[in-house]
Structure 1
Amino acid sequence: MRKTIHWRFTLILLLVGFMTAIQFNSMKNPEERDTRDIWAIRQDLASEKQFHSELLSEIRELDKTILTYKSLNIENTGRALTQTVDKLYRQAGVTDVEGPGIIIKVRPAAESVAFGVPITGISPDLLTRFVNELNRFKGLIFEIDGKRYTILSSIRDINGMTTVNGLNVSTPPFSMKIISPTFADSEKVYNYLVASAIHDDFYLDDLILEVGKPEMAVEIRGYPERLENQFLEELPKGE
């Protein structure tokens, strides 16, 4: 009888000890939690809402194009297709563009010149950071040192030189142009750049940004390279 009680008591102690060990381990190694503050979460939420809004805008544009094709007769279909092709060429950056925008000059810092610091080219990381800063605005058109920057463009380091589209970016000073959909958008870009912390990043590399005031007519040349078609094939007439 005593042996039975002893074994039961031992079993109970083992269960209690096992449960205590599990609880202690869970308290010592809690599950990973989101430790971001409320502002970081709000910023991520704002970014997702902006992305969602852009997708809805693109869907509306495509729906509008479909309705346009459905409402046209055979004679006007060719004209609508031509307009669509011109719009796509513009979005791809092939054509020359003129519109409201700003001109930015990248110059060596005055202190660097005064102290005789060697002037070096802008780094690919800094130039990429600058482009990413502006990508928060929709519909902008870029030109960097006379080189059209599009979705097909790349900023790389080739043999120690910063390149855009495989072409070397000049050692400062050089200019960058930005065209916005409207003059009001250009003013927003201007105000953002004037107050942006990107100036500190340039200054650390002994460079300064001179942001010109918005202008009504800024010209940007089209992408000089020919776009290659790898997947689409033109059908013979009548098919």
Structure 2
Amino acid sequence: MTDRRLQDRIAVVTGGAQGIGEGIVRRLVADGARVLIADLQYDRAAALADELNAAGASAAAARVDVADKSSVDEIPSQVEDAFGAPFDLLVCNAGVQTFQHAVDVSAEEWDRVLDVNARGTLFSMQMAARAINTDPTSFPAIVAMASIQARLGSPYYPHYSASKAAVLSLVRSFAVTLAPRGIRVNAVAPGVIDTPLWAVADEKISALKGVAPGSARESRIAAVPLGRMGTPEDVAASTSFLASSDASYITGECIHVSGGDVML
């Protein structure tokens, strides 16, 4: 159950067409926000916006490549075209992950993952710093999607872990930079979340380990203290909280949505 705590807010969610991003879009809409779904997969984003609008929500889609600064810088005008006002909330969710032994990660894999996850978050936060609505009644906020892997080491995706550690560093830097303007900047760090990406992760990691398909997934879930995978809705709930006035005195922080996998 939601409480419409984001009523009349305008949000941008990058990478909002599927997985965790889709869960966030659905939660923000349920909480009363109007949402621009900014995704490289425009057809998926448009289909989701159409579905939400048919159900009485207010959503729009835009094709955005977060690794391309010029593409990100078009977001404010796309928001104005869709909703006639600037946005109050940015969720930096767009991301990619590949899997490889640490000693075999290629320059191309490194560049691809860091370009989207780290550089894309930088470009998105810079854009928001210029364009977000700073009226105090709008409770301006940025929420970036990190990962518990930013806190951990892995032999199978060190480039992904590095990119998410960069996201946490950017959150702290922009929280300090934008605090005088009343813009809060926080992060959510998901753990093992049940999305289509985990089917890919299981296949790739199981192969790298030389074990049967399904083994990586089973062993990973077994390590979670709460004994289950999380859901996109779990991540979306924390994102909505950080976006709301309920978190008005929280900035520069990270909520781990990991079932106890990481405890700080």
Same topology, TM > 0.5? no
TM-score by length of 1: 0.24
Query: With CA pairs under 8 Å and 6+ residues apart, which has the higher RCO, 1 or 2?
Result: 1
| Greater fraction strand | 1
TM-score by length of 2: 0.22
Which has the greater radius of gyration? 1
